[in-house]
Every structure is written in structure tokens, then in C-alpha cells.
């Protein structure tokens, strides 16, 4: 085994970094708007069910594969069978593609932090947001700035970079979140937002909602891109990873729910609609901030919170490719970061411009941004998860009994990993491609 491989300082730092990876734009930006789109509480019920049953298995399997093989994705798959090398390669590739649009949104967040401090004059954020993202200069500069910040931490290594970022940003994130929840719950009619989240309307159940809930669950837990495999490969102590898996799932779900409790009461309190899609946090919320006293302070707090969440997730997305670069090409982390910065910029800049100048450039009928979002969340992530389950279950022969003491659950894990999850994922892929 390679003794020069980095490892986590402690189990705590591993769990914190994995929670940092899980909790991101997926929880605060995507979860509330997808929940708003699919009718509130019913979506939540389906989502919670999927998180606790279907998602537990690939999450544990991905961590376990990393922990057992102690290699970056490509080498890990190759060591199971040299034929699997190309499948391993899909993981860093997916990471590069995800980051190219994730970081565009990261750039928008930086802009909103900036305007919270310097000018908060507009009261029509709908017009502001669309004209901002159509621009060619600021959105691109901020996207690259966000990428640069992630790269800065990444290039400093596991302990000084990744652990440090999570140790600072995650507590800051939690404090800001709690503060904003208290603020939101004290607004008039806040209870309407809570009712919307927790009182189900079963007429809204649909097959499409199931797919959306599963896609959201995989994305928010960072499954299917090798991030957990890579983080798992840095675990050195021989402790069970089942508890870590629960902790990651529980924390991620709590943070998503807390994001809802922060956002929906404010929206209902101002008589606005919860189903405004991707603009929910960039249009609906700023419209509220513009109306309240000290709104720019609240706005700064909110977007700094979003920034912390996005940065710690961005780091985990990049680490997959960085680990592959450094271990396979034997280059330093700094060199690997520079190369990756160039590659990702080359995709992220067109993705950012696809709202404006490059709007007319389409791939399979989608703008560059939408194409990247669609290919990663609807195709590559389920596909990578499918390959992971098959390789872990059938070839590496991971068994539930290695980690889970309860016999019944251990067997359930085996059946899930080898049969149920692959079947569900094939269904998801088929539905996504239809
Ligand atoms: N889970 C993160 C979020 O909710 C996004 C993310 C980080 C991710 N790492 C990932 C998604 C790996 C898929 C794969 O925002």
C-alpha cells in the first residue's frame, strides 16, 4: 500500500468533510425549489423514504469501496479488474462536468454577497437576476473566482486545505442558518410556510416526482461521482463506517429541512409563490430582503451561508479529479490544481455565457448549462452509481455482514446492492433518456 497517501486527522474530520460535501447548493438552492415545484410535503415524504432506504446502500458501498481499496477512482476500479478502468475514469470526468455548472452558480452567490454590501437598491430582482446572468463579464469573473477559491484550499492538501476549510466554514454555516431560521420563524404568518412543508396533499403524487426525488437524493448526498469513494480512501482507522453513513445522511437531511424552514416561512409571510424554480433564492428571497429593515445584512448572511455550503461541496467535487491526477501522474497537488483550473475554466466559461452571448448554442436542444446539468444528474450520476453497485457487489464482493451487525439488515444490504438498486437505477436511466 502507498504510504505517501494522505489520510484524515481523525474520524471527526472525515465526517465533517463528508457532511461538507453533502450539504451544498443541493440542500439550500435545489431542495427548496424542487420541493416547491412538486407540491411541498408529499415530495418530502417520498424524498425521506428514498434517502433512508435506497440511498443508504450506495452511500455505504461507495465509502466502503474507497476505504477497502485505498486508491483514487480510476486505480480503484482498475485494481478490481483492469477492464473497469474506463468506468473508473467516468468519475473524475463527471466531476469536471458537474463543477463546470456548479461553479457558475457559485459565481452568482459571490455577486449577491457583493451587492449585499455595496448596493441593494433594486426592488425587482427578477429583472436584475436575468440581466445579471446574461452578462459576459461579471458572471464569468465570479465563476473563476469561486473556482480559484476551491482550488486554493484543494492545493493545500487534505489536512491544511480540505479539513481547514470544513473546520471553519461548516460551523459558520450552521450559526448563520440557525440565526436566519429564528428570523424567518418570527415573521408574520410564518406558520403558513411550515404547514406547506409538513402538511401533505396526496393528490400531487406522480411518477415524475419519484424520479425528481431520487435524483435530488443522489445529488445531495454526493453519490455517484467518486467523491465519497475518494474521501473514503483517506480513512485510515479501522472503525465501522455504518455510523458515519448514518451521520452523513442524518445531517444532510436535517440541513435540507432547516433550509426549508428558513426559506418557506419567509416566502409565505410575504405572500409569494414557493414554486418559482431556480430563481427561488436569487429572485424571490432577495425581493423579500429588499423589503425588510436591514435587509442587506440578512441578505449578506444568507449568501455567505450559501457560499460556505457551496465551497465545501465544490472542494469534494474537485478532489476526485485531483486525487486521480496526483496519484496516477505523480504530480504535485499544486500542479494538478493548475491543470484542473484550466480544464474546468474551459467548460465553465461557456456554461456561464450560455445565459447570454452563447444562449443560441445548443447541444441536443439544450443550452450548455442545461446540457451539463442534465447529462450529469440524469445520466452520468445514476450510471456511475450503477457501475459502483455492480463492481462493489458482484466483483469486489462487499458484504453487509462486514459492516452491519444485525443479520437481517446485512442480508437486506446485500440484496439491495446486487439487485434492487441496480434495477431501480436502470429504470431511472431509461426514464431519463426517454
Ligand atoms: N452534494 C452537494 C450538494 O448538495 C453537491 C455535490 C458535492 C455532489 N459533491 C458531489 C454531487 C458529488 C454529486 C457528486 O450541493
pLDDT at position 201 is 82
Question: For 160, what's the count of Cα atoms within 13 Å in the CB-facing half-sphere?
Answer: 6
Whether 137 maps to a domain, the answer reads: yes
Considering just the CA atoms, what is the radius of gyration of the chain in Å? 21
User: CATH number, domain at 415?
Assistant: 1.10.4160.10
Query: What is the C-alpha separation between 355 and 249, in angstroms, rounded?
Result: 34
Q: Could you report the per-residue pLDDT of 112-131, keeping only the tens digit for each?
A: 999 999 877 777 888 899 99
- The partner residues of 363 in beta bridges, in order of sequence, read 366
Of 140-149, 226-235, 289-298, the one with minimum mean pLDDT is 289-298
DSSP state of 268: H
pLDDT at position 4 is 73
Q: Could you report the per-residue pLDDT of 229-273, keeping only the tens digit for each?
A: 999 999 987 777 999 999 999 999 999 999 999 999 999 998 888
Distance of CA 218 from the midpoint of ligand 1 (Å): 8
pLDDT at position 348 is 97
Q: Pocket of ligand 1, candidates 23, 170, 220: which has the most ligand atoms within 8 Å of its Cβ, to mutate?
A: 220
Q: Is 206 exposed, middle or buried (0-12, 13-18, 19+ CB in 10 A)?
A: middle
pLDDT at position 103 is 96
Q: Take atom 14 of ligand 1 and give the residue whose Cα is closest.
A: 222
Q: Take atom 7 of ligand 1 and give the residue whose Cα is closest.
A: 313
pLDDT at position 2 is 58
Higher pLDDT, 341 or 101: 341
Distance of CA 31 from the midpoint of ligand 1 (Å): 12
Whether 6 maps to a domain, the answer reads: no
Whether 4 maps to a domain, the answer reads: no
Q: Is 346 exposed, middle or buried (0-12, 13-18, 19+ CB in 10 A)?
A: exposed
Distance of CA 145 from the midpoint of ligand 1 (Å): 19
Nearest to 60 by CA among 252, 242, 317: 242
Whether 5 maps to a domain, the answer reads: no
Which of ligand 1's atoms lies nearest the C-alpha of 313? Answer: 7
pLDDT at position 12 is 92
> Is 1 a residue whose pLDDT tops 60?
no
> pLDDT class for 94, splitting at 50, 70, 90?
very high
pLDDT at position 424 is 94
Neighbours of 328 (CB within 10 A): 15
Among the ranges 80-89, 282-291, 296-305, which has the highest mean pLDDT value?
Answer: 80-89
Give the torsion sign (CA, 83, 230, 252, 111).
negative
Of 74-78, 188-192, 275-279, the one with minimum mean pLDDT is 275-279
Give the chain's mean pLDDT: 92
Whether 203 maps to a domain, the answer reads: yes
- The partner residues of 367 in beta bridges, in order of sequence, read 362
Which of ligand 1's atoms lies nearest the C-alpha of 221? Answer: 1
Distance of CA 270 from the midpoint of ligand 1 (Å): 31
Query: What is the C-alpha separation between 135 and 66, in angstroms, rounded?
Result: 41
- Is 221:22 a contact under the CB 8 Å cutoff? yes
Cell numbers placing 292: 425588510
Query: What is the C-alpha separation between 323 and 226, in angstroms, rounded?
Result: 10
- Is 368:354 a contact under the CB 8 Å cutoff? yes
- Ligand 1 binding pocket (C-beta < 6 A) is 21-22, 24-27, 98, 219-220, 222, 225, 227, 313, 316-317
Whether 18 maps to a domain, the answer reads: yes
Range of the domain at 319: 11-433
Cell numbers placing 88: 473508473
pLDDT at position 291 is 84
Q: Pocket of ligand 1, candidates 63, 219, 229, 252: which has the most ligand atoms within 8 Å of its Cβ, to mutate?
A: 219
Whether 166 maps to a domain, the answer reads: yes
Q: Considering the chain, what percentage of its residues have pLDDT values greater than 90?
A: 77
Distance of CA 196 from the midpoint of ligand 1 (Å): 26
Q: Could you report the per-residue pLDDT of 258-270, keeping only the tens digit for each?
A: 999 999 999 999 8
pTM score, whole prediction: 0.93
> Is 3 a residue whose pLDDT tops 80?
no
Q: Which residues, at least 6 apart from 182, have a Cβ–Cβ distance to it below 8 Å? A: none
Q: Could you report the per-residue pLDDT of 30-46, keeping only the tens digit for each?
A: 998 888 888 889 999 99
> pLDDT class for 55, splitting at 50, 70, 90?
very high
Nearest to 264 by CA among 358, 173, 347, 180: 180
Which of ligand 1's atoms lies nearest the C-alpha of 22? Answer: 1
Among the ranges 141-155, 187-201, 207-221, which has the highest mean pLDDT value?
Answer: 141-155
Number of folded domains that form the chain: 1
Distance of CA 269 from the midpoint of ligand 1 (Å): 31
- 69-80 mean pLDDT: 97
Distance of CA 222 from the midpoint of ligand 1 (Å): 4
Q: Could you report the per-residue pLDDT of 403-418, keeping only the tens digit for each?
A: 899 999 999 999 999 9
Of 75-89, 366-380, 382-396, the one with minimum mean pLDDT is 366-380
Residue 362: what are its φ and ψ, rounded to 5°? -125, 150
Whether 132 maps to a domain, the answer reads: yes
Amino acid at each position: 500500500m502507498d504510504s505517501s497517501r494522505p489520510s484524515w486527522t481523525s474520524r471527526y474530520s472525515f465526517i465533517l468533510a463528508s457532511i461538507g460535501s453533502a450539504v451544498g447548493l443541493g440542500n439550500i438552492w435545489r431542495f427548496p425549489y424542487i420541493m416547491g415545484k412538486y407540491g411541498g410535503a408529499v415530495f418530502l415524504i417520498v424524498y425521506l423514504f428514498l434517502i433512508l432506504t435506497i440511498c443508504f446502500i450506495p452511500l455505504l458501498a461507495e465509502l466502503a469501496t474507497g476505504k477497502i481499496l485505498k486508491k483514487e477512482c480510476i486505480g480503484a476500479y482498475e485494481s478490481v479488474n483492469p477492464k473497469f478502468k474506463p468506468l473508473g475514469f467516468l468519475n473524475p470526468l463527471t466531476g469536471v462536468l458537474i463543477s463546470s455548472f456548479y461553479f457558475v452558480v457559485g459565481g452568482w452567490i459571490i455577486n449577491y454577497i457583493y451587492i449585499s454590501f455595496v448596493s441593494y437598491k433594486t426592488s425587482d430582482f427578477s429583472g436584475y437576476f436575468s440581466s445579471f446572468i446574461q452578462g459576459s463579464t461579471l458572471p464569468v469573473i465570479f465563476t473563476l473566482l469561486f473556482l480559484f477559491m476551491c482550488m486554493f484550499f484543494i492545493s493545500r492538501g487534505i489536512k491544511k486545505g480540505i479539513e481547514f476549510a470544513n473546520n471553519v466554514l461548516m460551523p459558520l454555516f450552521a450559526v448563520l442558518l440557525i440565526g436566519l431560521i429564528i428570523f424567518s420563524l418570527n415573521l408574520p404568518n410564518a406558520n403558513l410556510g411550515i404547514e406547506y412543508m409538513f402538511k401533505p396533499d396526496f393528490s400531487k403524487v406522480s411518477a415524475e416526482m419519484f424520479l425528481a426525488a431520487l435524483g435530488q437524493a443522489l445529488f445531495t448526498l454526493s453519490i455517484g461521482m467518486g467523491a465519497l469513494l475518494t474521501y473514503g480512501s483517506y480513512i485510515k482507522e479501522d472503525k465501522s463506517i455504518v455510523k458515519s453513513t448514518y451521520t452523513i445522511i442524518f445531517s444532510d437531511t436535517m440541513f435540507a429541512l432547516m433550509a426549508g424552514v428558513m426559506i418557506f416561512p419567509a416566502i409565505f409571510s410575504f405572500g409569494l409563490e414557493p414554486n418559482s424554480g431556480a430563481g427561488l433564492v436569487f429572485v424571490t428571497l432577495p425581493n423579500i430582503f429588499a423589503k425588510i429593515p436591514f435587509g442587506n445584512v440578512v441578505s449578506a448572511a444568507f449568501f455567505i451561508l450559501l457560499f460556505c455550503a457551496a465551497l465545501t461541496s465544490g472542494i469534494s467535487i474537485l478532489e476526485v479529479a485531483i486525487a486521480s491526477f496526483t496519484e496516477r501522474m505523480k504530480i504535485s497537488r499544486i500542479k494538478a490544481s493548475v491543470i484542473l483550473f484550466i480544464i474546468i475554466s474551459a467548460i465553465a466559461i461557456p456554461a456561464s455565457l450560455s445565459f447570454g452571448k452563447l444562449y443560441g448554442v445548443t447541444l441536443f436542444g439544450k443550452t450548455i448549462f442545461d446540457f451539463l446539468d442534465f447529462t450529469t444528474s440524469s445520466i452520468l450520476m445514476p450510471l456511475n452509481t450503477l457501475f459502483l453497485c455492480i463492481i462493489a457487489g458482484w466483483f469486489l464482493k462487499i458484504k453487509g455482514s462486514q459492516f452491519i451487525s444485525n443479520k437481517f439488515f446485512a442480508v437486506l444490504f446485500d440484496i439491495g446492492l446486487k439487485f434492487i438498486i441496480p434495477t431501480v437505477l436502470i429504470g431511472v436511466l431509461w426514464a431519463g433518456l426517454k
